Amino acid sequence: MEKRRVLIVDDDAGVRESVRMVLKGHYETSMVTSGEEALSAIPESRPDVVLLDVLMPGLDGLAVLEEIKAQDPRVPVVMLTATKTVKTAVTAMKLGAFDYVTKPFDVEELTLTVERAAADAARTAELEQLRWEVGKRYSPANIIGSAPSMQEIFRTIGMVAPLKTTVLITGESGTGKELIAKAIHFQSPRAERSLVTLNCAAIPENLLESELFGHERGSFTDAHARKLGQFELADQGTIFLDEIGELAPSLQAKLLRVIEQGEFMRVGGKQTIKVDVRIVAATNRDLEEAMRDGSFRSDLFYRLNVVALPLPALRERVEDLPLLIKHFLSIKAQEIGIPEKAISSEAVDTFLRYPWPGNVREIENVIERLLVLSDHDPIGVEDLPESIRSGRVETATIQHQVLRREKSLTDAVDEFEREIIQAALTEVGFNQTRAADLLSTTRRILKYRMDKLGIAEADA
């Protein structure tokens, strides 16, 4: 591992030399003799720790400390004080010094202090790196959408992210609801606090309440200790209530209370707990319909739907397909650790014709598989999975959509019927009598079905 860098700032050559002797085994040291020199050296040499004398001709240590902290508050500075004047030390600490060591110094004390300062700097750098990476992943640059509907979504996010406003994200599976929820959190002033995600569909109804609000010890058989709920853990941050459409009616009432009053009780608790939490909810269910059939409370809906973000299905924004393909070819290659690949324009055209029932997630998976499995560069039509080449959505996918209430049975059946009739018409050169014959029906019934399904004679 690279040695950490320590900058020694002292006008006394004897001190500089003895400090260097102590540290040189473990650190890369450099030395300057005045505050002025220190200030010009730091931006270039970027030391991990600065050892700074207090009493120097010219700029004294405290003034230099102040300047260093103004330039970059992350650099830990350890003061070297000639006498243990408490006053100077206290001032230095107030100005942001990491610690101080008195001269003549004790070798062990010096070593330990520098070690702590270096470790602290490493931790800060690591945290910053992590935060940067997470922030970058959910930054607008990594959310693809040039279609007007997506631009509108981005505009809304830009407006509401800084506020505490409750947001309801809707959209089919794979349209990016979770991604958008994270983007809102990481673009908000709460970004430094926690984002707690709770999947309302994945937790059994009898445990969901204690998941959300926590419980006191002994409140039920398995409650051996007090447990904090997700709402408490999200205090000052954001809670993402995913699949909110699956929330049981009894919990809908409780959630409504938290939103209205900003407070709740742990299961088995008597004390009310107040939290400051921003709520972002998402669902792929049609909540309007759920309200009509009584499975979702309308008062809760209006509380959540303060700002609505309806994400379009991918087939409603085909203009974004080329961008998404490019995006995933590049980031997936990076993630997997293989060179990037190009894709032929015929293959892109084939992508454009496919309806993408699994939306962005589906295209992401297809591209990842292509990168791994195809040995062609550019990737061509022949590399694409059969379902995409034929433009046919697997029956299993449609069934899945219906069972997840993303599509009504009537719509699914209509789509299927439309596809068959169109295929039959194509097969017989658009002669309706022959198509009816092929489908074992009469021309009159075929015509009736075509009108109902919106199959124009011309375009058929």
Ligand X SMILES: Nc1ncnc2c1ncn2[C@@H]1O[C@H](COP(=O)(O)OP(=O)(O)OP(=O)(O)O)[C@@H](O)[C@H]1O
Choose, by CB under 6 A, the member of 47, 61, 76, 171 that binds ligand X.
171
Closer to ligand X by Cβ: residue 78 or 144 = 144
Instruction: Say how far apart CA 74 and CA 65 lie, in whole Å.
Output: 12
Secondary structure class of 241 (helix, strand, coil): strand
**417 counts as binding Mg ion under rule CB under 5 A:** no
Stretch that binds ligand X, among 100-108, 167-175, 386-394, 428-436 (CB under 6 A): 167-175
Question: Taking contact as CB under 6 A, which single stretch among the options 139-147, 244-252, 269-277, 374-382 is the one that binds ligand X?
Answer: 139-147
> Could you tell which of Mg ion, ligand X, none binds residue 168, using a CB distance below 5 to 8 A set by kind?
none
Minimum distance from residue 370 beta carbon to ligand X (Å): 16
Listed ranges 32-40, 175-183, 411-419, 445-453: which one lies at the site for ligand X (CB under 6 A): 175-183
- Could you say whether residue 178 binds ligand X (CB under 6 A)? yes
Q: Footprint of ligand X on residues 94-133 (CB under 6 A)? A: none
- H/E stretch holding 201 reads none
Question: Where do runs of H (alpha helix) occur along 262-344?
Answer: 287-292, 298-304, 321-336
Which partner in Mg ion, ligand X, none is near 144 (CB below 5 to 8 A by kind)?
Answer: ligand X
Q: What DSSP letter does each residue of 55-84 carry, written as one string? A: --SSS-HHHHHHHHHHH-TTS-EEEEESS-
Q: Does 67 bind ligand X (CB under 6 A)?
A: no
Angle at which helix 177-186 crosses helix 148-160, to 10 degrees, equals: 40
> Of residues 353-392, which lie at the interface with ligand X (CB under 6 A)?
360-361, 364
Q: Which two tokens stand for residue 66?
A: 């102040």
Of 63, 179, 251, 265, the one binding ligand X (CB under 6 A) is 179
Candidate residues 33, 113, 166, 173; the one interacting with ligand X per rule CB under 6 A: 173
Quick check: 249 and 191 in contact, CB under 8 A? no
With contacts defined by CB under 5 A, name the span among 172-180, 182-190, 222-230, 346-354 that binds Mg ion.
Answer: 172-180
Task: Tell me if 178 contacts Mg ion by CB under 5 A.
Answer: yes
Burial bucket for residue 70 (CB in 10 Å: 0-12, 13-18, 19+): exposed
Report the candidate in 87, 85, 1, 12 with the shortest Cα–Cα distance to residue 51. Answer: 12
Q: Are 416 and 410 in contact (CB under 8 A)?
A: no
Is 4 within 8 Å of 48 (Cβ atoms)? yes
DSSP conformation class of 106: P
| Residues at the interface with Mg ion (CB under 5 A) | 177-178
| Residues at the interface with ligand X (CB under 6 A) | 143-145, 171, 173-179, 284, 360-361, 364
